[in-house]
Structure 1
Amino acid sequence: MRASLSGLHVLLSTEAARGLWGYTLELAAGLSGRGVSTTLAVLGPAPSPEQTASAAAIAECRLVVTGLSLDPAAPDGTALREAADAIAGLAWRLQADIAHLHDPALIAGGGIPIPTVVTCHDCAATRWATLEEAPLSPDLTWQRDLAAEGLRAADLLIAPTHAFAELTAAAYGLEAPPLVVRPGRRAPGPVSPCQGLPLVLTSGRLWDRGRNLTALDRVAEGLPVPVQAAGSIESPEGERVALQSVQALGPIPAADLAARLAARPIFASLSRYEPFGLGVLEAAQAGCALVLSDIPTFRELWEEAAILVPPDDAAAAERAITGLLADRDRRRRFGEAARARSEQYGREAALDAIAAVYATLSARLPTGVAA
């Protein structure tokens, strides 16, 4: 039985320059259909006119561009503490019922005067624990400490997978891992018959070292078909991924990416660090056969519905892809398996899980909204 959230007002933090934007927008749209009003507090760069229009099209959704900078290269946590104070003030002025934050540092100090849930995802401590062997770099300890302060102050913690929940608990010494609430996306609808484009595609925040695009670039050297990458290969700080064989498409509109996925190329991701992987979910929903790195997150979500290979074994990834190219039936079966698995991660299931979280928190209000 669904919790009734009608009349609830949720303050959602987000960033326009990251994949988080699409998730937040879809969440706001889904919540609107359940009678929940939302305020999207945008940190970092301002949204584009197209992004602003998309938010404006959602009923009962208000956009607040805070102008607050979140610079991961900053020498200390001054900017994040200022952002935390600003979010607390915004929650008070709006008289929001619940705050749903994407960064635990935004509740550091415990200043937000309403029940707060924090989504645990990409952060310095878990990233370092996954990608590095040495102890955490001293110039990142302030990020870890500020996040830990926020994690302790939150009323409830959620994470997108059990793998990432356990990683977060280990990185911050939590007594218990966060509750698992999987994000979801609206499926594109029935998949039309298609042989599958003789092409390999990847997508996402490609400049991110955790996405391991250089490994896919090595694989591309030996493939008989093009390998294309949709997304930016340049970080906000101006660092670029050097590519020899992968064709960089750059950032492309969501509709363009959806059209490319509808042609059912083989979708490959050799990420070494991945809290969930919305790009993989979108490809699976389109019926693409998946070749993914054998990491805890992807094993949890896609085992037996994708071909899993060691993230830095170019030969294994090349064999997996060429095998799919040579065997249309096998490629079709893997595409069907991926699409079937993706139905577990749809938008309604994600909304049900978020609604249950909000119902738990709203019961703590003086006059709880959820029944």
Structure 2
Amino acid sequence: MRVLMTTDTVGGVWTFTQELAAGLLESGCTVSLVSFGRLPSPVQQDDCQRLAGMHRERFFYRPSEIGLEWMEDNQTVYEEGASLLTREAVRFSPDVIHSNQFCYGALQLAIPCVVSAHSDVFSWFRACRGASPPPSHWLATYRETVQAGLLQCSAVIAPTRWMMRELAQAFELPQRCDVISNGRTVEAGSGSPRKMCAVTVGRLWDEAKGIDTLHTLRSPIPILVAGSTTHPDARRPPSIASATYLGELGGDQILHLFQSSSIYLCLSRYEPFGLAPLEAALCGCAVVARDLPSLREVWGDSALYFEDTRSLQEILSALAAAPELLAAARESAHRRALAFDRAQMTRHYLDLFESTVAPSERAEHAA
């Protein structure tokens, strides 16, 4: 199967699409990946070169600087992106398009298009600010392009039931809506001694990531923070107070950080799934997470949940004082994380892709 996939270079969608692309390639598919948002970083370029080196003639990457539908300057995003994707579709001849932006569900091509819903502006505002976003020309454009993509796509996928319900509050959804959990496959590490420290990873400028929780936290253990401080629209990130800022790390550096740490802090106020805590748990960290319905759906009883700074401090103090409690939390998180692997995610997406292709096209593909 030939899959034309979109991604963005700004957030966690990049990690998701790298993982799914790897799974599809391992399954024998051919993948063309087109990125939006901004030009890829050197680390992201390396990610794609690694896939191209492992799967010669079956992986192609086309970067672009075309914006994303949620960015402030979104008036021509769809038209520019649709033009690029149409040209790529002519060149690549995909069996299916997998868009990780809503708007490209409206592509006027005779090719099935599956849209993955990773987040949306309306649920972000409800979670972070407790209200709907204020009316504006930008918001009207966003709503219009997102709604068009959702109604014209072949299917919409969300990583959690929570995300699908949130999306349905703001938009009319297509007839086919499925939930497919994100997946990740990483090594747990060498088993070398871990530092008694907590780590968190995220865009420091994004209030959804809850980094400001660290302002008044009196942690009994060191806290390390990694992530971008550069907002696409040049907003300033918050201070991280007494935590240690490590900068923006590459994928391998982040995994090494997880493999040498004991606890992952999921501080997010808005987290439709959460790839970073999944990666950390696979690397052997305990997961301490804000008590959100989406995170409860993913982690069940395998994470420790906090509601405010005080309860977070109490959990960290308990883990620091009781090695057996920390060991049990690490084991529970790791066992749960193993259920969300690349293989299960790829299998479900492949089944979905196959079901959207017309029977005659499936027969031609099989031949």
The answer, yes or no, to whether TM exceeds 0.5 is: yes
| 2:258 aligned partner, one-letter code | L
Q: Could you tell me how far 1:76 is from its partner in structure 2?
A: 4.8
Task: Tell me the residue number matched to 2:104.
Answer: 106
Question: Taking structure 1 as reference, are residues 343 and 143 closer, same or farther at Cα in structure 2, changes over 3 Å only?
Answer: same
2:352 is aligned with 1:357: yes
Question: Taking structure 1 as reference, are residues 130 and 181 closer, same or farther at Cα in structure 2, changes over 3 Å only?
Answer: same
Which string of whole-angstrom CA distances, capped at 9 and with x for unpartnered residues, describes residues 66-95 of structure 1? Answer: 342337443553222321233233223321
Question: Taking structure 1 as reference, are residues 50 and 228 closer, same or farther at Cα in structure 2, changes over 3 Å only?
Answer: closer
- SS of alignment partner, residue 14 of structure 1: strand
- SS of alignment partner, residue 338 of structure 2: helix
Task: Tell me the residue number matched to 2:22.
Answer: 29
2:153 is aligned with 1:154: yes
Question: Taking structure 1 as reference, are residues 205 and 187 closer, same or farther at Cα in structure 2, changes over 3 Å only?
Answer: same
Q: Is the CA contact (8 Å cut-off) linking 1:202 and 1:267 kept in structure 2?
A: yes
1: CA distance, partners of 2:340 / 2:71: 34
2: CA distance, partners of 1:362 / 1:177: 14
Q: Is the CA contact (8 Å cut-off) linking 1:10 and 1:39 kept in structure 2?
A: yes
Task: Tell me the residue number matched to 1:5.
Answer: none
Q: Structure 1 unaligned runs (5+)?
A: 1-7
- Runs (4+) of structure 1 exceeding 4 A deviation are none
2:312 is aligned with 1:338: no
| 1:150 aligned partner, one-letter code | G
| 1:205 aligned partner, one-letter code | R
Q: TM-score, normalised by structure 2?
A: 0.91
2:208 is aligned with 1:213: no
Task: Tell me the residue number matched to 1:238.
Answer: 234
Question: Taking structure 1 as reference, are residues 131 and 51 closer, same or farther at Cα in structure 2, changes over 3 Å only?
Answer: closer
Which string of whole-angstrom CA distances, capped at 9 and with x for unpartnered residues, describes residues 288-347 of structure 1? Answer: 11110110111011121111112xx11011101111111100000000000000011011
Task: Tell me the residue number matched to 2:309.
Answer: 314
Task: Tell me the residue number matched to 2:127.
Answer: 130
- SS of alignment partner, residue 232 of structure 2: coil
Equivalent residue runs for 1:48-127 within 5 Å: 48-58=41-51, 59=55, 60-70=58-68, 72-108=70-106, 110-127=107-124
Task: Tell me the residue number matched to 2:36.
Answer: 43
- SS of alignment partner, residue 103 of structure 2: helix
Q: Could you tell me how far 1:166 is from its partner in structure 2?
A: 1.2
Superposed CA RMSD in Å reads 2.1
Q: Could you tell me how far 1:352 is from its partner in structure 2?
A: 1.1
Task: Tell me the residue number matched to 1:3.
Answer: none
1: CA distance, partners of 2:158 / 2:190: 30
2: CA distance, partners of 1:22 / 1:134: 29
Task: Tell me the residue number matched to 2:182.
Answer: 183
2: CA distance, partners of 1:123 / 1:209: 14
| Stretch moving more, 63-72 or 29-38 | 63-72
2: CA distance, partners of 1:212 / 1:98: 37
Q: Is the CA contact (8 Å cut-off) linking 2:7 and 2:34 kept in structure 1?
A: yes
Q: Is the CA contact (8 Å cut-off) linking 1:169 and 1:175 kept in structure 2?
A: no
Task: Tell me the residue number matched to 1:4.
Answer: none
Task: Tell me the residue number matched to 1:281.
Answer: 278
Q: Could you tell me how far 1:218 is from its partner in structure 2?
A: 2.3
1: CA distance, partners of 2:208 / 2:255: 24
Q: Is the CA contact (8 Å cut-off) linking 2:290 and 2:306 kept in structure 1?
A: yes
Question: Taking structure 1 as reference, are residues 327 and 252 closer, same or farther at Cα in structure 2, changes over 3 Å only?
Answer: same
How many residues get paired? 358
Q: Could you tell me how far 1:370 is from its partner in structure 2?
A: 6.5
Question: Taking structure 1 as reference, are residues 212 and 188 closer, same or farther at Cα in structure 2, changes over 3 Å only?
Answer: same
1: CA distance, partners of 2:69 / 2:118: 17
Which string of whole-angstrom CA distances, capped at 9 and with x for unpartnered residues, describes residues 90-121 of structure 1? Answer: 2233211110001111233x413300100001
Q: Could you tell me how far 1:175 is from its partner in structure 2?
A: 6.8
Q: TM-score, normalised by structure 1?
A: 0.90
2: CA distance, partners of 1:305 / 1:53: 34
Which string of whole-angstrom CA distances, capped at 9 and with x for unpartnered residues, describes residues 153-182 of structure 1? Answer: 100110111111111122214376831111
Q: Is the CA contact (8 Å cut-off) linking 1:117 and 1:156 kept in structure 2?
A: yes
Q: Could you tell me how far 1:190 is from its partner in structure 2?
A: 6.3
